Structures are given as C-alpha cells and as structure tokens.
Amino acid sequence: KEEVVNRTNMPQNEHIELFQKRQGHRLDHYEKERKKTSRLAHKMARKAQNLRGLKAKLYNKQRYSEKAQMRKTIKAHEEKDAVVNAKESDEGAVPAYLIDREGVNRTKILSNMVKQKRKEKAGKWQVPIPKIKPLSEAEMFSVVRTGKRRKKAWKRMINKVTYVGENFTRKNPKFERYIRPTGLRFKKAHVTHPELKTTFQLDILGVKKNPQSQMYTGLGVITKGTILEVNVSELGLVTQSGKVVWGKYAQVTNNPELDGCINAVLLV
C-alpha cells in the first residue's frame, strides 16, 4: 500500500526528460531539431496567409511584437562602444597640453541620446500613479430612456468629467448616443510641476490616454490616472535646441467629479 501511495504522489509528466537524462538523445535528434527550426519560419508564414478575421489580427499582432523584439536584440548585439580617434587637423599648431590627448568620438553616447528622444516621443515615463482601480460601466454611464413610452434604452449619459475641444460640434440630440453634460465639461487643470513644487492653472489641449478604456479616451472622459496634454507655453520651458515647449503631458491625481476641479502632476 505504501509503494502505491508513493508512486501516485510522484510527478507523472517528467518520464520523457528522465529517459533522455538516463539514455541520452537519438543520434539524429539535433539534426531533426535544426530542420524543425528552419522550417518554422515557412510554417508561420503559411499560417499567417491562411488565417482570416479576428484570429488573423491577433496572430499578426503577436508576430509583429516578436519581430520588433528580435530587431531590438540584434541591434543590442551589434551595438558596441566604438571608440573612434578623430583625425588631427593640420590647421594651426596644437598646444603642448593637448599633444598627448586624442580627440575621441564615442558612437554609443549618440545612440543613447537618440533612444532617450524616442522614449520621450513614445510617452514612456514613470507616472505618479502606476495602478488604477477599474471602473464599472454602471459607474461611468447612466442609462437614458427615450421614446414615447420610455422603452428605448440605447442612450448613455457620462457621469464623469469630460473634455471636448474648442471646435466641438454636438450631434443632433435625437441621434447622440453618448451625452456629455455641459456642467461636467472642463477646460483647465491645476498642474503641479514636481521639481519646481509649484501649481499652475493650465489649459487642457486634449486627453492623451484614459487607462480605463480606449473608448473613454476617444470620448474625452477624465478619471483618476488619465494622461492629459496641457499647454505649458506660460511656464517658459525650452528644449535643448532653444525652442519653446508648447504642450506637455500630465497625469490626473484626483477624482475630478468629486472635487469639482482637475489636479494633475506634470510628467517631466
């Protein structure tokens, strides 16, 4: 009885690995593996061509991310800290204290600067609030019943603060699915600069990303954790090249619908 119990408690899925450890692989094992991996690209391409609809979309998205990762890995392997000695110019004599020193150009420094700029462009920053509690649809919307006998229930009123642009034209109220109340539309935000420790009232330029849903981003809904684009031309921020910074991103840190104002922290 004890032996039976011990056998049943043993893991049942490692018998192949155990056999390979004890007996070794077949003689043609590695050749087969090599052929399998070389055929895999063709197999994946064939699969991508034959898939249709949503499966095709998901599969192509996965392949795209894999390829991007592969390109990054290859680039990381190729990139070296190449030190290039600058050619000495013949024009004029070199001072005595510079004779032993060589002009050195480091290629990696430049590439890191480019990477940093790309990161900034893509909007990948450490945000003040990294995790946000998800909101249910019932919290976000309230059902508006329409029709002569109030039987139609396809309209929704947004219960949260929203932002609409300057040139916003409302749809015909009869056909408007999402109603944004004018009392909950905001145009300004109180933005705190984390380094200056000062708060400014700035104009909102747009809603960049609402973490709750892509749909809420499109509707311009502002909840806690939303990334806004604000007009910082008044602050006098300047780029390295000397251009005035017009718009910058800020993350909302409060619940605007409860406080009656939008508080945000500038992403520097």
pLDDT digits (tens, 9 = 90+) for 12-62: 678 888 888 888 888 898 899 999 999 998 999 999 999 999 999 999 999
DSSP 100-169: S---EEEHHHHHHHHHHHHHHHHT----S----PPPPHHHHEEEEEESTTS-EEEEEEE-SEE---TT--
CA quadruple 127, 133, 134, 137: dihedral sign: negative
- 86, 84, 82: which is closest to 108 by C-alpha? 82
pLDDT score of 257 more than 70: yes
Do 232 and 266 contact (CB within 8 A), yes or no?
Answer: yes
For residue 93, the SS3 value is coil
Predicted confidence (pLDDT) at residue 3 exceeds the cutoff of 70: no
Biggest distance spanned by C-alpha atoms of the chain: 96
Please tell me the predicted confidence (pLDDT) of residue 127.
Answer: 84
Average pLDDT over every residue of 89-101: 63
pLDDT band for 103, please (50, 70, 90 cuts). low
